[in-house]
């Protein structure tokens, strides 16, 4: 190849290279930021929350005072009942026969004692003979009154206003005296029943303040711990706790879902801390950290100590003082000193 041809070939290569545009700059990563101490990261009193349900403070079982065959059940589960309202009836045939028999025995004893009183008034019998008839009459009179009461016991009535929570016997069933037929929640104080795990029951005390919110109502209700069962449930290994509600309707529907929050520091041992979103944490081995944003939108890794994880976010024990701007989402895609683009809030 001649020198002229070589020169033209090299010149063509140079011109071709110069005509290729330079590669576009790498776009900045988009992140969402949040200021520590504002919005979702504001300092607040942290408390554990527990799910529970509305219960009556007192729940009673209702049953007949005599045995017999259940022939009529007048209310169902969930029914609101009034004091004195009939709830169920037994077959009254046997008790009525017993009452008739007892009344006949009483009438006979009464006739005998009248004759013996007349005979004693004429000194035909001794005082001891009259005393025996008087005693027999008293026994027959008491037996007749007992039989009349038992005849009335075949109708089971509500003693207080309340709600039937459970039906425990059905029509046609033969029940014994005292056997539970209904479970009833009388109108009155309402409580929230929750369950605490073994690791947290020691942090809750009797009388401790609580905040209760019902899923069916956005208002927060004040309450306090009334009872902590000393024995764990053998199946769930949790401890039953009752939280008494203050200033609530005594007819609040039973079984409603509720959330109980213990705002005092005793509940978790955290007190007033900074809460940051869980997405802001960057885990490097055993060390947790967050990305803090500098003035030129560069990020730097700041180690933090997390004391607890809650539904609200991570509770930061140390590492942040408040006022820092941190990356709230996208922490796992960044590197130290990298410049980012912040998402504008809508």
Here the CATH number for the domain that contains residue 126 is 1.10.287
235 and 281, same structural domain? no
Interval 121-133: pLDDT, tens = 988 889 999 899 9
CATH of the domain at 197: 2.40.30.170
Q: Are the C-beta atoms of 252 and 219 separated by less than 8 Å?
A: no
Number of domains comprising the chain: 4
Per-residue model confidence (pLDDT) at position 12: 60
pLDDT at 271 over 50: no
What distance in Å separates the CA atoms of residue 129 and residue 152, rounded to the nearest whole number?
A: 36
Q: Are residues 117 and 181 in the same domain?
A: no
Q: What are the residues whose beta carbons fall under 8 Å from the beta carbon of 227, sequence distance 6 or more?
A: 206, 240, 241, 242
Same domain, 53 and 194: yes
Per-residue pLDDT reduced to its tens digit, 199-222? 888 888 899 988 888 877 767 888
In a domain, 10, yes or no: no
Q: Is residue 295 part of a domain?
A: yes
* 106 and 119 share one domain: yes
Decide if 255 is inside a domain.
yes
- In this structure, is residue 300 part of a structural domain? yes
Q: How far apart are CA 267 and CA 13, in angstroms?
A: 76
For residue 13, tell me if it sits in a domain.
no
Domain that holds residue 254: 49-57+188-267
- Do 106 and 212 lie in one domain? The reply is no
CA distance linking residue 117 with residue 336, whole number of Å: 115
DSSP-assigned letter for residue 298: B
In a domain, 79, yes or no: yes
Is the pLDDT at 241 greater than 90? The verdict is yes
Asked if the structure places residue 228 within a domain, the reply is: yes
Residue range 25-65, pLDDT digits in tens: 667 777 788 887 655 444 444 557 888 998 888 888 999 99
Which residue matches tokens 């029940």?
Answer: 175
Average pLDDT, the chain: 82
Q: Are residues 202 and 53 in the same domain?
A: yes
In a shared domain, residues 164 and 220: no
Kindly give the interhelix angle for 127-152 and 93-121, rounded to the nearest 10 degrees. 160
Assess whether 214 and 251 both reside in one domain. Answer: yes
pLDDT score, position 266: 40
- What's the confidence (pLDDT) of residue 158? 93
Q: Is residue 16 part of a domain?
A: no
pLDDT higher than threshold 50 for residue 267: no
Q: Cβ atoms within 10 A of the Cβ of 268, count?
A: 20
Predicted pLDDT of residue 17: 52
C-alpha 52: how far from chain center: 1
């Amino acid at each position: 190849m001649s020198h002229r041809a070589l020169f033209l070939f090299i010149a063509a290569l140079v011109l071709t290279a110069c005509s290729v545009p330079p590669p576009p700059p790498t776009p900045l990563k988009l992140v969402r930021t949040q200021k520590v101490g504002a919005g979702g990261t504001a300092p607040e009193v942290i408390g554990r929350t527990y799910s529970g349900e509305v219960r009556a403070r007192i729940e009673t079982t209702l049953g007949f005072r005599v045995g017999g065959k259940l022939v009529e059940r007048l209310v169902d589960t969930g029914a609101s009942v009034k004091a004195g309202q009939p709830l169920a009836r037994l077959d009254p045939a046997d008790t009525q026969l017993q009452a008739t028999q007892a009344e006949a025995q009483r009438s006979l004893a009464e006739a005998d004692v009248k004759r013996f009183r007349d005979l004693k008034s004429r000194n035909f019998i001794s005082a001891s003979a009259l005393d025996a008839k008087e005693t027999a009459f008293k026994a027959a009179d008491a037996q007749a009154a007992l039989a009349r009461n038992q005849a009335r016991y075949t109708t089971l009535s509500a003693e207080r206003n309340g709600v039937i929570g459970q039906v425990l016997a059905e029509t046609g069933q033969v029940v014994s005296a005292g056997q539970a037929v209904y479970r009833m929640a009388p109108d009155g104080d309402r409580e929230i029943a929750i369950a605490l795990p073994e690791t947290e029951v020691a942090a809750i005390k009797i009388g401790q303040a609580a905040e209760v919110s019902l899923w069916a109502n956005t208002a927060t209700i004040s309450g306090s711990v009334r009872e902590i069962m000393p024995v764990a449930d053998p199946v769930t290994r949790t401890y039953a706790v009752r939280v008494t509600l203050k200033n609530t309707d005594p007819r609040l529907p039973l079984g409603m879902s509720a959330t109980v929050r213990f705002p005092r520091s005793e509940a978790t041992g955290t007190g007033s801390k900074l809460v940051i979103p869980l997405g802001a944490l960057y885990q490097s081995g055993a060390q947790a950290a967050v990305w803090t944003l500098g003035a030129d939108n560069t990020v730097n890794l700041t180690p933090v100590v997390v004391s607890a994880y809650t539904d609200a976010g991570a509770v930061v024990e140390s590492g942040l003082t408040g006022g820092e701007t941190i990356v709230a989402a996208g922490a796992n895609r960044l590197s130290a000193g990298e410049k980012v683009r912040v998402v504008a809030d809508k």
